[in-house]
Amino acid sequence: MKTIQATIDRNEPNPYVMGKAARIIRAGGLVAFPTETVYGLGADALNAEAVMKIYAAKGRPSDNPLILHVSGVSQAASLVEMNDTARKLAFKFWPGPLTLVLPAKPIIPPITRGGLITAAVRMPNNTPALELIHASRTPLAAPSANISGRPSPTDAESVFHDMAGKIDMILDAGTTGIGIESTVIDVTNPFRVLLLRPGGLPREVIEDAIGMRLEAPDSDSAKRSPGTRYRHYSPSIPVMIWRKGDKFPGDETCGYMGVDEPDGLCCGGKIMFTSYEDYARGLFAGFRKFEADGFSRVIVQWPENDSGICGGLRDRIKRSASE
Ligand code: TXA
Ligand code: MG
């Protein structure tokens, strides 16, 4: 399969290109598109055969459910059973990096929700993404557009690297703004909201909005969030964590990423970030760069606190370094 690559303006995407992308979606094909977090690999969420192609292209276990990307609260309400808490959060934080898990309506094919009775919905804060959902006249099932287990793509080149020849089209609108994926919460029980995956929207911001702490899923509901079971976000070279103040474990064969300069002659390659937001934006691309440049491993700085974007950043660093 030849993968069409189309560059579009992130604020005013070419209508001809968007029309073509929407026709591919309607015909059951796969289109990678930008969101504010990472690039997604989209298919018609209500077309089981199209959704099956997503799992095949990514090499993703088919019991790991997908997020349905919607153009607004009313489209979400056609797919899942919204409750007052979910509606409040959606009105407050959409479009944005917040994914809500809720009881699924029968219209969603089981393959899209990984066979679960719940489904995940989110409205992305990105013009090309929203225009694609509109033009396709259907919600888009979209995981991150990487091969399963690899770092998520934050630019179209990374999508091309993993997906060339396997998908129909890539919409290229440059680098994504947040760089790590959305925060996923389970709102099925509005009196006990669960944080399934920290991400772009800080947990404390959500807690302020609902006046309640987000709870950790118990082992039973962890089983219901299958994404957390698999190895994730890892380049083909090992990732090691460095805490500021500790002895630096690197040498000239290593690449380093962080906000603080490590002491002395540390490494062969270095990516320094000016803030933790900047770090989150560049983490996955940094993994891919050090891998492509032939370094033996990547050393990453452990964020010193857990607030703001650091909640999600710590989670991605921990998972990419494990195993
Ligand atoms: O920012 C994002 O969320 C990106 C962009 C493309 O929107 N998408 C993304 O999708 O990260 P993916 O498939 O890589 O991660 C979806 C996560 C997985 O951990 C999955 O297990 C969880 O959401 N999930 C989806 N549906 C669920 C459900 N019904 N119950 C529990 N967890 C669910
Ligand atoms: Mg992913």
In angstroms, the CA 270 to CA 291 distance is 13
> Do 179 and 76 sit in the same domain of this protein?
yes
> Do 243 and 203 sit in the same domain of this protein?
no
Q: Supply the Cα-derived Rg of the chain in whole angstroms.
A: 19
Residues 6 or more apart whose CB falls under 8 angstroms from that of 4 comprise 20, 168, 169, 170
For residue 266, pLDDT over 90 is answered with no
Q: Which two tokens stand for residue 234?
A: 């890892």
Residue 65 falls inside a structural domain: yes
Task: Report whether residue 184 contacts ligand 1, using a CB cutoff of 6 Å.
Answer: yes
Which of 187, 222, 257 lies at the terminal end of a domain, its last residue? Answer: 222
CA of 317 to the centre of ligand 2 (A): 14
pLDDT tens for 28-40 read 999 999 999 999 9
Confidence of residue 322 (pLDDT cuts 50, 70, 90): confident
> Do 77 and 205 sit in the same domain of this protein?
yes
For residue 223, pLDDT over 60 is answered with no
Q: Which residue carries 């930008």 as its tokens?
A: 34
pLDDT tens for 42-64 read 999 999 999 999 999 999 998 99
**Cβ burial, residue 293 (10 Å; 0-12/13-18/19+):** exposed
Ligand 1, atom 17: nearest CA belongs to which residue?
227
What's the average model confidence in pLDDT over 85-109?
98
Task: Report whether residue 224 contacts ligand 1, using a CB cutoff of 6 Å.
Answer: yes
The structural domain count of the chain equals 2
Residue 164 falls inside a structural domain: yes
* pLDDT of res. 229: 62
Which of 222, 255, 288 lies at the terminal end of a domain, its last residue? Answer: 222
CA of 148 to the centre of ligand 2 (A): 7
> Do 87 and 38 sit in the same domain of this protein?
yes
For residue 226, pLDDT over 80 is answered with no
> Do 212 and 266 sit in the same domain of this protein?
no
* pLDDT of res. 222: 56
CA of 256 to the centre of ligand 1 (A): 29
> Do 148 and 286 sit in the same domain of this protein?
no
Confidence of residue 21 (pLDDT cuts 50, 70, 90): very high
Residue 228 falls inside a structural domain: no
Which of 222, 248, 266 lies at the terminal end of a domain, its last residue? Answer: 222
Report the percent of the chain where pLDDT is more than 70. 95
Ligand closest in space to the Cα of 54: 1
Domain of residue 186, CATH code? 3.90.870.10
> Do 114 and 260 sit in the same domain of this protein?
no
Residues 6 or more apart whose CB falls under 8 angstroms from that of 292 comprise none
> Do 218 and 243 sit in the same domain of this protein?
no
> Do 78 and 138 sit in the same domain of this protein?
yes
Ligand 1, atom 30: nearest CA belongs to which residue?
225
Question: Which atom of ligand 1 is nearest the CA belonging to 180?
Answer: 1
Q: Which two tokens stand for residue 54?
A: 């997503």
- Report the mean per-residue pLDDT for the chain: 95
Task: Report whether residue 8 contacts ligand 1, using a CB cutoff of 6 Å.
Answer: no
Residue 232 falls inside a structural domain: no
Residue 259 falls inside a structural domain: yes
CA of 66 to the centre of ligand 2 (A): 9
Domain extent at residue 212: 4-222
* pLDDT of res. 231: 67
Write the secondary structure of the chain as one string of H (helix), E (strand) and C (coil).
CCCEEEECCCCCCCHHHHHHHHHHHHCCCCEEECCCCCCEEEEECCCHHHHHHHHHHHCCCCCCCCEEECCCHHHHHCCECCCHHHHHHHHHHCCCCEEEEEEECCCCCCCCCCCCCEEEEECCCCHHHHHHHHHHCCCEECCECCCCCCCCCCCHHHHHHHHCCCCCEEEECCCCCCCCCCEEEECCCCCCCEEEECCCCCHHHHHHHHCCCCECCCHHHHHHCHHHHCCCCCCCCCEEEECCCCCCCCCCCEEEEECCCCCCCCCCEEEECCCHHHHHHHHHHHHHHHHHCCCCEEEEECCCCCCCCHHHHHHHHHHHHCC
> Do 198 and 300 sit in the same domain of this protein?
no
Report the percent of the chain where pLDDT is more than 90. 90
Contact 34, 129 (CB under 8 A): yes
CA of 306 to the centre of ligand 1 (A): 21
Task: Report whether residue 151 contacts ligand 1, using a CB cutoff of 6 Å.
Answer: no
Residue 180 falls inside a structural domain: yes
> Do 10 and 108 sit in the same domain of this protein?
yes
Residue 230 falls inside a structural domain: no
Q: Which of 99, 130, 152 to mutate to test the pocket of ligand 1 (most atoms within 8 A of CB)?
A: 99
Ligand closest in space to the Cα of 226: 1
Ligand 1, atom 28: nearest CA belongs to which residue?
119
Task: Report whether residue 70 contacts ligand 1, using a CB cutoff of 6 Å.
Answer: no
Confidence of residue 263 (pLDDT cuts 50, 70, 90): confident
Q: Which of 68, 100, 184, 186 to mutate to test the pocket of ligand 1 (most atoms within 8 A of CB)?
A: 184
Residues 6 or more apart whose CB falls under 8 angstroms from that of 194 comprise 185, 186, 214, 215, 216, 217, 221
Residue 188 falls inside a structural domain: yes
> Do 244 and 186 sit in the same domain of this protein?
no
Q: Which two tokens stand for residue 57?
A: 């292209």
Task: Report whether residue 225 contacts ligand 1, using a CB cutoff of 6 Å.
Answer: yes
